[in-house]
Structure 1
Amino acid sequence: MTALSIRQADSPPEQAGTGRESTVLADFEECYAANFHKITIQLAAYLGSLAEAQDVTQEAFARALPRWGRLTGYADPGAWVRHVAWNLAKTRQRRQRRLALFLRQQQEEPVAGPEPDRVALIRALSKLPERQRRAFVLHYLADLSIAQIADQERTPEGTVKSWLHRARAAMAAHLTGAAEEGRDV
């Protein structure tokens, strides 16, 4: 591409050339002026939104401009633009319906927050050392026996019993303290 052709491609259409090109642009502007409002009003009634109708109509004219040399051979180039605009509007409507359906399916049901007892339990568990916490959770929440926990943790059963004993004592102290704090408030 030469420097001259690059400058012409970058320049506005009015300055790109003379003769035939300016005639084609004048025809396009005439069609735009004659049809933009009509198509927009039709699509506004269909879409229920003037702004969306204007966007769709503008997009249809934007698609027509590079093809305008060929479209001027049609009996009614405005009909081509109207047809494209309606297709774009229908596509937009389908996308919006699919999006609305997707969003309805994705809506989360409100879930009640945790009960105060659960909050106190989680807080008390978080204060335990890791091994004691793991043994406590595996025994009381996962219903594993001491032998199963010992096997999983690769430690003697006596060690697991010790962890559980210490965990129960610490939990009792934490939960009793939390209950007393709740009464003082």
Structure 2
Amino acid sequence: MTDAEEFDAFYADTSWRVLGQLWTMTGSRAEAEDAVAEAYARAWQRWRQVRECDSPEAWVRRTASRIAISAWRKAVNRVRAHHRATPDQDLVGLGPDHVALVHALRQIPAAQRRAIVLHHLVGLSVAEVAAEVGSPQGTVKARLLRGRQALAGWLSDLPPAQTPNQDTTGKETRHG
């Protein structure tokens, strides 16, 4: 099999999955498509090294994530202005649970969002997430814990400042 045939097969097997994962992380299909396309282009340029990785798919996903994060940093003011001026057209037609999850994910820090998506939606173990993001497992566990706590506040029917383990004064309560 030639390099081109091998890469084409790899792309066909993984591209939709990686796109779905990046779409969930970014909350925008267009941003995800751009990042994934660039990541696969870079993978093709380095295919001989990438195919030797333990997981070429993880390499592409990590690269696409970094591309997306870089784009977020460069365009943060433009995106904020756009969201203030117009409703988010990417979410039209999606179910209310999906809309709520994507909105909540956008409210938490990028590192926590990435850990949550990779662990809970992609299905990677804590060790795999740690390897992919280049952080110790303890850091990933902390990001998962803090991310879940933050999401609980955004996805709860309670006001954002009040989580299920707090009373109306904000003091922690014990149940049981």
Q: What range is the shorter-chain TM-score in?
A: 0.3 to 0.5
Which of the pair has more CA radius of gyration?
1
Q: Which structure carries more helix by proportion?
A: 1
Higher relative contact order (CA 8 A, sep 6+): 2
Report the TM-score when normalising by structure 2: 0.42
